[in-house]
Homo-oligomer: A and B are copies of this chain.
Amino acid sequence: MAQSDTVDRILNAAEELFAERGFSETSLRMITSKANVNLAAVNYHFGSKNALIQAVFARFLTPFSETLDKAFDDLERRCKGEPPTLQQTLWVLTESAVRMPHRNEKGISIFMRLLGLAYTQSQGHLRKFLEQEYSEPFGRLMRLLKAGTPQLSAVDRYWRIQFMLGATAFTMSSSDALREILENKLGIDTTVQEIAARLVPFLAAGLQADDPISVPKTA
């Protein structure tokens, strides 16, 4: 073949297995046998397992950050100087994620699950890589969230953004299982888009909650 697709097959298999099982729990042999390539191919093409992990993230994060950047440009153009509202920012964010071209119908939930894992699993090299490569679009999102919640102190905003990321990554990462449970329990089918549509008002309300750090009614 003119150009081998070995690299892509490895990336596809690794992406799926990482999302299912986490990084440490996924061996190179699982990946290469799922991808139907030789074991040595990973180290040949990527150099190491850690570099493969980073490559998996780069493959979807790079186009996503470009899409997001353009969508934010669009949003700010429509707002003509006025800072975008929190709901607008959140909606552009979820829309960009959902609208990304995905390799299959599981793409969006794999995407989310990987983001959650990047935060959760203590992979020092990954955190460094993501901070170096994607600090700019991340910073832009943070600035927009800040503009959308001018009433919050920096500390309040920081924590509430963490809560927001948690709710999103967690829900999306297990959206398949959650959708299935709901289907069995109430006979209702839900799309990822609908989940996102439910998530946005939840997050917006949480981010903007009045916050007289509630005192217990306990005696």
Q: How large is the interface on A (under 10, 10 to 19, 20 to 34, 35 or more residues)?
A: 35 or more
Listed in ascending order, the chain A residues whose CB lies under 8 Å from chain B are 20-22, 24-25, 78, 87-88, 91-92, 95, 116-117, 119-122, 154-156, 158-160, 162-171, 173-174, 178, 182, 185-186, 188, 190, 195, 197-214, 216-218
Q: Report A194 CB to chain B, min CB distance, Å.
A: 8
Let me know if B211 and A198 touch, CB within 8 A.
yes
A205 vs B202: C-alpha distance in the bound complex, in angstroms? 8
Contact of A170 among B169, B178, B188, B209 (CB under 8 A): B169
A7 vs B160: C-alpha distance in the bound complex, in angstroms? 40
Residues of chain B lying within 8 A (CB to CB) of residue A117: 120
Let me know if B24 and A91 touch, CB within 8 A.
no
Residues of chain B lying within 8 A (CB to CB) of residue A214: 87, 91, 197, 200-201, 204
A120: nearest chain-B partner, CB-CB: B120
A71: nearest chain-B partner, CB-CB: B218
Let me know if A208 and B205 touch, CB within 8 A.
yes
A160 vs B202: C-alpha distance in the bound complex, in angstroms? 7
